[in-house]
Amino acid sequence: MYIVAYFVSPSAIIIIDSYSTDETLQILSDYPQVQLFKRKFDTHATQWNYGLEQVQSDWVLSLDADYIVTDELVAEIKELPLNSSINGYFAQFKYCVFGKPLRNTILPRRQVLFRKSKAIYIDDGHTQLLEIHGEHSQLSAYIHHDDRKPLSRWLWAQDRYMVIETKKLLATPTNELNLGDRIRKQKILAPLIILFYCLILKGGILDGWHGWYYALQRVLAEILLGIHLIEAEKLKK
């Protein structure tokens, strides 16, 4: 199951559902402003672009199903000038562990608010990347990313993501990779570095067991990537 959500207005929320089998559709039926579209998932970019095709408004706020829009962000968006030359706005994220926002994580900022006519999604590793034509700016308020997948589901998703990440890392020349991806390509170093980065540099140790939980998740994800890289390289030989 993969869900894309676009907040168009208080009276219109567009949901792209990839034929979910849980209670998603039952929950959505309680909200009359939801416009539901079904599409079998193939890639992130095509799924998100399909969602954009259903939007009729000039501006779009794109959200994953596990994003929580804070009151501060809502207030900030309401104050944005309508006649600005800005075509897209970046938002920062706070990752939540069992509902608790962490101080700092490795979640990158994303462009989530944008003019529909100036935007298109492209695939980028295991996820999608929004390309905006023209000027962009930064929102100061945060979106909370509250991912509450059970461990079995999380492991399944991460394993699938890392297969795609492996293909991306092996297909991209090393000199075109950023520093983080170059470290990840070394396999053994990445899990150790990410543990230090999450707990010490990002201050996760100050978040108590929530910070340790997040750090161990990221370490496990990097271990999965390392295993897939080794497997792919050995099979290729």
Residues 158 and 223 reside in one and the same domain = yes
| Tokens read off for 15 | 């949901």
Q: Can you read off the two tokens belonging to residue 156? A: 């399944």
Nearest-CA neighbor of 143 among 34, 33, 61, 36? 61
Note whether 9 and 99 are same-domain residues. Answer: yes
CA–CA–CA angle 115, 111, 35 (5° rounding): 60
Of 87, 116, 146, which residue sits at a domain end? 146
- Same domain? For 107 and 189 the reply is no
pLDDT tens, residue order, the chain (237 aa): 566 666 666 667 888 888 888 888 888 889 888 988 999 988 888 988 998 898 888 888 888 878 999 999 999 999 998 788 999 999 999 999 999 999 988 888 889 999 999 999 988 777 778 888 999 999 999 999 998 889 999 999 899 889 989 998 999 998 999 888 999 998 999 999 999 999 999 999 999 999 999 999 999 999 999 999 999 988 876
- 82 and 13 inside one domain: yes
Max CA pair span of the chain: 57
- Residue that the structure tokens 């992130």 belong to: 44
Same domain for 200 and 225, yes or no, is yes
